[in-house]
Structure 1
Amino acid sequence: MITGEIKNKIDKIWTDIWAGGITNPLTVIEQLTYLMFIRSLDEKELEKEQFEALTGEKQPKIFPQDEEGQSMRWSRFKTMDPRKMYDIVSNKVFPFIKSLNGNSESAFSRYMQDAMFLIPTPQVLQKIVTGLDELYEYDIKDRDMQGDVYEYMLSKLSTAGQNGQFRTPKHIRDMMVRLVEPSPDDKICDPACGTAGFLVSSAEYIREKYEAVMTNEQWEHFAGDMFTGFDTDRTMLRISAMNLMLHSVTQPHITYVDSVSKQNMISSKYDVILANPPFTGTVDAESINDDLKAVCNTKKTELLFVALFLRMLRKGGRCACIVPDGVLFGSTKAHKALRKELVDNHHLRAVISMPSGVFKPYAGVSTAVLVFTKTGSGGTDKVWFYDMKADGYSLDDKRTPIQENDIPDILARFHNLEGEKDRKRTDQSFFVDKSDIVANDYDLSINRYKEVVYEKVQYDPPVVIMDRLDKLSLEIAEKMKELRGLIGE
């Protein structure tokens, strides 16, 4: 967990960049990401040199061995005069890391080709390099800490992207990962990965739960094949690849793919899908994959993505995804067709209704988490509903921590659904039979099924109320008389 002192150091670096004229949070993150990557290359090189010195075994080098090549290493340029450092980083290091793409070792370097170095002045660069170096030297002790630092930086992305994408809060992601419980043998995918938050949360969960018992094959799977992410924003791809690298996932499959288009033909491949797909977008009807149109003929991304999850999961695969409330009760043909597909042809396990402030300050939209298993042969006999009222943070733009938090209760109840059978519809969670859902036109909004108990309010008889009003009138007249007397004096 990062301390207040570390947060202050990150805030200072951030302020220095803002003062230099870069005010878009995404650009700030991107520039910091490049510098963190440049530093990580030097770290790798140092490890290779130490191994070579110990074993005498020649290791392939990242940087050229001449004087110019060695001057591109973080450990060399960090102490240079600001102008010289700026010249080396902008004119030598940057072109060099972009050319690494040829024999790339990581997903991150694959997306460096269209990267731009935007730090405006030598002074700003020096402040960032000094600030980052101090963080690494004194505060970041291990990979977990690196990941936490990067997570804190990403938390500053407080605006939604052009396509309606925004960062899902970590505690919501962690809850969703714990709902589907990925294992070390699973293949996990987020087809709208953004900053790769769901993949990072999955990696953390697997390491926390299985680290002591994982085999070498499972660790190899963890470092590469286990995690796949797609996005259509190359900046996001760079950031997500770096985010995963900082969480020990060195070879993730982070790829530029328009997930709902004909470009994506993946089917029945993944064991787990976790996602918060874009809500606001519509896509070009011509480019939409015909398989998805067969499930729900629409241009709305929030519907197409759920149909996509069903296609990409293997039989028995699990999904937890966030959808806007409209998906649950929308009355169009496409809305109903998607809900019918989930309820009739697969196993819809849970609908967790979330309060509308969960995504503030990005958006105030009301959302829900759908949890389902792909079966292709039905399996929904009843659906578990939960009305989440609090998530541990205030539901305003500030999102400050509070005591009330339903997440532990949600997880405990979801993993013991036997105990939920006798709950009434006046409770916070309850089951609804499939027959009820079908009778209600496949409506999945909790308000359709929740029963509210109204307390009868007892009022005094009108005569008593009138007497009370008379008494008050006399008191007012008395006070007015007293006040006039005071003014008269």
Structure 2
Amino acid sequence: MITAEMKRKIDQVWSSFWAAGMPNPLEIIEQITYLVHLRRLEELYPGTDGSTQPLIYRGATEHLRWSKLTNEAPQRMLALVRDDVVAWLRDLSYRFPDHFSQFRSVRFTVTTPSLLMRAVEFVNDFDISDASTAGAVYEHLLGKIDRSSGHHLRTPRDVVELLVQITRPGRADDICDPFCGTGELLLAARRFVERSDAGGPSEGVLRGFSAHSEFLSIAEMNLALHGVARPDLRSVDPLSSDADGLGEYSLIMAKPPFGGYYDYGRLSDVLKTYAGTKRTELLYLAAILHRLKPGGRAGVVVPDGVLFGSTSAHQEIRRTLVEKHKLDGVVSLPKGIFQPYTGVSASLLFFTKTDRTDFVWFYDMTGEELGRDGAHASTLADVVSRWQKRDSSERKRTPADQSFCVPAADIIAHGYELTPHRYRHEHEMKKLARDGVWRLGDIAEVIAGKVRTSSADNDVDAAGAGKEQRVLRPALLDVSLPNVEDLPVTARKADPGSTLREGDVVGRDLATARHWTVLPRHYEGVQAGQGLLVVRPVQGEVPAEYLAAYLSSPQAERNFRRYDVIPRIRPKELADLLVPACDGTFAEIRAAMTRLTEGVDEAAKIHDNLRRSKTAIFEPGGSGERRSRLGQAGELSSLVAQNLRRQGEPYRLFQDSYPYPIARAVRRFKHSSSPAEKHEAALLCVESLILSLGIVSLSLSAQRGWDALAEVQAWATGVRQGGVSLGHWVGVIRATGTFARESGDEAAGLAEATATKKGGKGLMADLGSLVTLRNKIRHGAGPRTRAEIERSLETLEELTFRALTGSSFLAKMSLVHTSKLRWLPNAGKYEVSGLALMGDHPDFEPAVFETNRPLADDRLYLSNRQGEMIPLWPFCVLGDCPTCLTPEVYYPDRMTGTTALLKSLDRGHELESDEVFDDLKRWNTPASAD
């Protein structure tokens, strides 16, 4: 148990290192660790003649004993450490490698006598005789390492506990961690043995490897101070030939580093044939399999890319686990559990070096609130309990459950994919097929283009080439198809399997610009290039136009799988896509699609006519003729504009269906009369949109446990220290959207909305431009004359309209304010009464809906189409304005004294709230160093 006094001393010595210009946490730990080593050397190796231990103190090294060294004057002690101790420790590591290998790369970087004295005083106060106290102190030191520094020394406690509870180390086990870090897995294994097997001390070896000797010193100290005497730690790269003779083990637990490529020249010859890849995450698995004894078991943390990667090396390592050994289970860890070190999702693999797999047990924890710094006993107990039943009752569960079993035959049939999502998706497809949806592969044939680009292409006479020699390359797909005679020509023989037909729906397999298009008759006979996907509807089943419209929709795009860095669609994945069924005959659906397309085509023709009339102004002719063409173009454009305004206003969608603050700002913009008023209203619209998106992002981050994102913390700091800028809000939006995409979380539509489009375009680019423009105007560099205001308004309106359109996911959500909660015993749900704050209605609409979870009264929530209720408190509040005496929507702008100063989103009116202050303070107060 660590005392408050010792915590204070740790903080003091830590501050001393910082003050001396040594802010790197890893370096501080390293220096303190070596000093503790020096103190322990005298206790462990007293130097008695006839002892079986190495005699390290004799003659010229006698003065290096801790008791003598620390009695020297500070300047003299520093010189001895710098000039004599370092060389002596390195010499020991080569003379007695079984005892002192951790000193091979020892270095002392303390440069001032005063800092060395403070560190020595701290080490002397360190009670290393009591394992429970010494271990707790050292763990506290390790806990001060800032993961954002790029070093991830510690595995989250929950992950360590899971690995130990499932692998269950025994007294006779030879245990190894080939990537031992700070030795936490080895320590947890030894503690488990001591708790569960009181029959005596461990009989097997406890061994760890590390390619970084400075980490090895920390691991050795961590184990030693916890009472594990002389652990067998080796300074060796587990992937190199240096590790070839280090034996086999009955249990391996490991959390290898994520990602990267290994120098093939240094790789062990055994592993070269074992894995056939340079990817370290695959080589680590191969090395672990190689190190296991027959019948040995392993628990390993792997990045999720290992589970579904499409390269031959990924598939081969998974095939080896499933077909040549026994893959026991896969546990998908909660997303973001390794934040902020990495946003990569990870899983636990458990396997045995024995015969092939029968069933694989899956447990999906991705929706859990598993902490990074403390075990959640109920969740962990559930995982372990179900693991123990994987050969019995777990076999009866379906993939809709949190845990389930999958036969090895099914895994083999799906390319050895090991993600629970894959098999849950299969289960959901079968269920949905009974609920009025079409599986694309059942109503159409899915074909992949095969014709590759070749140096021989275009060598034939293009003028005389037939359609069968023309190739539709994916890059040529755009909003309109090129003429057949303009397509590239291939010298290869036509491939019947890639020949296109009239009515085929074609698109790119890349997500950037798929351009799903129905091919006309004159394209029949053209070849499909590699990277093109062809959907050939079964005659008379579903119109090609309907399929093309759905494949082009965001609903379909969300259902496409993503693989590694390049988001390609595979033909098999596309065949498994579920298409919403549509009532009506083939002819009725096709006729409706034709009417829908008619309006789009007519709008395109109008646009083309206007563009041609504008271009024609500058064609050759006299100035009078040019003036006539200009007048005609102006009249034509004016008539079209008037007609379009009568048919429907582009801002009506935002005004009717977006959350109240945005809708109200849009209304003010629409009804502004003068350019100056319209310009100011546009700025207010920009601010309201950014604040609304920021509130959604903050609320999602708080609900999902993404508070540690740097941009979220920057926002919190701004609130505490005097206010936040629009730049802070945009940073929160960008960071939340990015992390959601990396985590595979739709985040109620924010992930897709904030994704960067081709050419760096997209919502975030528009918001960035709007903030720059708005700040320039607000800080006094805005337009002054009417002409300047009109030009600025044109730019501002174009960006604002694009940003509003890019935020369309807001229209798929509902902003509601709760007032009453009632339990419905027959339905087993709660009935919520309140107000819907959508659109620009002056009086909010009453809202009554049902939910599975109780909601707080007098709070704002955001509800998406999936029924998820996202609490907006304390980032968004509905309150009565003391200025205008009407309800307004507020956000926290800054904290002053004991109150939070709130501002309304659309008027800028201020309101103080002690309640928001208390909750916001609890949320954004930095965690204690403890």
Return the match for 1:244 from 218, 223, 232: 223
- The alignment yields a C-alpha RMSD, in angstroms, of 3.6
Stretches of structure 2 lacking an aligned partner (at least 5 in a row):
436-813, 815-835, 845-883, 886-930
**Counterpart of 1:408 in structure 2: which amino acid?**
A
Provide the rounded CA distance (Å) in 2 between the counterparts of 1:255 and 1:323.
Answer: 23
| 2:268 counterpart residue number | 289
Q: CA deviation at 1:404?
A: 8.2
Q: CA deviation at 1:368?
A: 0.1
Q: CA deviation at 1:346?
A: 1.0
**Counterpart of 2:325 in structure 1: which amino acid?**
H
Quickly say closer, same or farther: Cα 1:59–1:275, change in 2 above 3 A: closer
Task: After TM superposition, list the pairs within 5 Å mapping 1:118-197 onto structure 2.
Answer: 118-136=109-127, 142-159=130-147, 166-197=153-184
Q: Is the 8 A contact 1:82 1:126 kept in 2?
A: yes
Q: CA deviation at 1:58?
A: 8.5
Provide the rounded CA distance (Å) in 1 between the counterparts of 2:242 and 2:52.
Answer: 39
Higher relative contact order (CA 8 A, sep 6+): 1
**Counterpart of 1:390 in structure 2: which amino acid?**
E
Provide the rounded CA distance (Å) in 1 between the counterparts of 2:383 and 2:220.
Answer: 31
**Counterpart of 1:330 in structure 2: which amino acid?**
G
Pair member with larger Rg: 2
Q: CA deviation at 1:189?
A: 1.3
Return the match for 1:408 from 370, 373, 381: 381
Provide the rounded CA distance (Å) in 2 between the counterparts of 1:254 and 1:363.
Answer: 27
Provide the rounded CA distance (Å) in 2 between the counterparts of 1:423 and 1:75.
Answer: 64
Return the match for 1:429 from 396, 403, 418: 403
**Counterpart of 1:323 in structure 2: which amino acid?**
V
**Counterpart of 1:246 in structure 2: which amino acid?**
L
Provide the rounded CA distance (Å) in 2 between the counterparts of 1:110 and 1:71.
Answer: 22
Quickly say closer, same or farther: Cα 1:122–1:410, change in 2 above 3 A: same
Q: Is the 8 A contact 1:276 1:323 kept in 2?
A: yes
1:55-82 per-residue CA deviation (whole Å, 9 max, x = no partner) reads: xx9998967577x866533344445543
| 1:367 counterpart residue number | 346
Q: Is the 8 A contact 1:392 1:405 kept in 2?
A: no
Return the match for 1:115 from 94, 103, 106: 106
Quickly say closer, same or farther: Cα 1:286–1:112, change in 2 above 3 A: closer
Return the match for 1:198 from 185, 203, 211: 185
- SS of 2:219's equivalent in the other structure is helix
- SS of 1:449's equivalent in the other structure is helix
| 1:208 counterpart residue number | 195
Q: CA deviation at 1:10?
A: 2.0
Provide the rounded CA distance (Å) in 1 between the counterparts of 2:149 and 2:182.
Answer: 12
| 1:83 counterpart residue number | 75
Provide the rounded CA distance (Å) in 1 between the counterparts of 2:56 and 2:415.
Answer: 63
Q: How many residues align?
A: 440
| 2:510 counterpart residue number | none
- SS of 1:2's equivalent in the other structure is coil
Provide the rounded CA distance (Å) in 2 between the counterparts of 1:63 and 1:305.
Answer: 37
- SS of 1:245's equivalent in the other structure is helix
Provide the rounded CA distance (Å) in 2 between the counterparts of 1:60 and 1:97.
Answer: 16
Q: Is the 8 A contact 1:276 1:322 kept in 2?
A: yes
Quickly say closer, same or farther: Cα 1:341–1:102, change in 2 above 3 A: closer
| Stretch of structure 1 that moved more, 300-309 or 150-159 | 150-159
Quickly say closer, same or farther: Cα 1:115–1:17, change in 2 above 3 A: same
Task: After TM superposition, list the pairs within 5 Å mapping 1:42-53 onto structure 2.
Answer: 42-44=42-44
| Stretch of structure 1 that moved more, 123-132 or 148-157 | 148-157
Quickly say closer, same or farther: Cα 1:426–1:22, change in 2 above 3 A: same
TM-score, normalised with respect to structure 1 = 0.79
**Counterpart of 1:214 in structure 2: which amino acid?**
G
- SS of 1:337's equivalent in the other structure is helix
Return the match for 1:449 from 395, 400, 423: 423
**Counterpart of 2:74 in structure 1: which amino acid?**
P
| Stretch of structure 1 that moved more, 415-424 or 71-80 | 71-80
Quickly say closer, same or farther: Cα 1:357–1:404, change in 2 above 3 A: farther
- SS of 2:180's equivalent in the other structure is coil
Q: CA deviation at 1:268?
A: 7.0
| 1:479 counterpart residue number | none
- SS of 2:176's equivalent in the other structure is strand
Provide the rounded CA distance (Å) in 2 between the counterparts of 1:106 and 1:147.
Answer: 23
Q: CA deviation at 1:155?
A: 2.7
- SS of 2:82's equivalent in the other structure is helix
Q: Is the 8 A contact 1:198 1:274 kept in 2?
A: yes
Q: CA deviation at 1:308?
A: 1.5
Q: CA deviation at 1:255?
A: 2.1
1:384 aligns with 2:376: no
Quickly say closer, same or farther: Cα 1:60–1:158, change in 2 above 3 A: closer
**Counterpart of 2:388 in structure 1: which amino acid?**
H
Q: CA deviation at 1:165?
A: 6.1
Q: CA deviation at 1:275?
A: 0.8
Q: Is the 8 A contact 1:295 1:337 kept in 2?
A: no
Q: CA deviation at 1:227?
A: 1.8
- SS of 1:384's equivalent in the other structure is strand
| 2:279 counterpart residue number | 300
Q: Is the 8 A contact 1:21 1:120 kept in 2?
A: no
Quickly say closer, same or farther: Cα 1:474–1:175, change in 2 above 3 A: closer
| 2:6 counterpart residue number | 6
- SS of 2:241's equivalent in the other structure is coil
Q: CA deviation at 1:103?
A: 5.2
Q: CA deviation at 1:381?
A: 1.4
**Counterpart of 1:208 in structure 2: which amino acid?**
R
Quickly say closer, same or farther: Cα 1:260–1:73, change in 2 above 3 A: closer
Q: CA deviation at 1:84?
A: 3.8
Provide the rounded CA distance (Å) in 2 between the counterparts of 1:276 and 1:182.
Answer: 16
Provide the rounded CA distance (Å) in 1 between the counterparts of 2:40 and 2:840.
Answer: 77
| Stretch of structure 1 that moved more, 153-162 or 442-451 | 153-162
1:366-399 per-residue CA deviation (whole Å, 9 max, x = no partner) reads: 0000000010x31x21111111143642xxxxx5
**Counterpart of 2:30 in structure 1: which amino acid?**
E
Provide the rounded CA distance (Å) in 1 between the counterparts of 2:235 and 2:244.
Answer: 14
1:245-303 per-residue CA deviation (whole Å, 9 max, x = no partner) reads: 33344343322333223333358711011111122220123333343343432110101
Quickly say closer, same or farther: Cα 1:311–1:65, change in 2 above 3 A: closer
Quickly say closer, same or farther: Cα 1:3–1:365, change in 2 above 3 A: farther
Quickly say closer, same or farther: Cα 1:243–1:387, change in 2 above 3 A: same
Q: Is the 8 A contact 1:41 1:62 kept in 2?
A: no
Quickly say closer, same or farther: Cα 1:288–1:150, change in 2 above 3 A: same
Q: Is the 8 A contact 2:102 2:235 kept in 1?
A: no
- SS of 2:398's equivalent in the other structure is coil
Provide the rounded CA distance (Å) in 2 between the counterparts of 1:196 and 1:127.
Answer: 27
**Counterpart of 1:206 in structure 2: which amino acid?**
V
| Stretch of structure 1 that moved more, 383-392 or 303-312 | 383-392
**Counterpart of 1:42 in structure 2: which amino acid?**
E
Stretches of structure 1 lacking an aligned partner (at least 5 in a row):
394-398, 460-467, 477-482, 485-489
Q: CA deviation at 1:173?
A: 1.5
TM-score, normalised with respect to structure 2 = 0.43
Quickly say closer, same or farther: Cα 1:421–1:86, change in 2 above 3 A: same
Q: CA deviation at 1:93?
A: 4.0
Provide the rounded CA distance (Å) in 1 between the counterparts of 2:87 and 2:309.
Answer: 50
Quickly say closer, same or farther: Cα 1:387–1:80, change in 2 above 3 A: same
Provide the rounded CA distance (Å) in 2 between the counterparts of 1:338 and 1:178.
Answer: 25
Provide the rounded CA distance (Å) in 2 between the counterparts of 1:472 and 1:98.
Answer: 75
| 1:465 counterpart residue number | none
- SS of 1:430's equivalent in the other structure is strand
Quickly say closer, same or farther: Cα 1:17–1:424, change in 2 above 3 A: same
Provide the rounded CA distance (Å) in 1 between the counterparts of 2:162 and 2:352.
Answer: 17
Return the match for 2:300 from 321, 330, 338: 321
Provide the rounded CA distance (Å) in 2 between the counterparts of 1:180 and 1:59.
Answer: 36
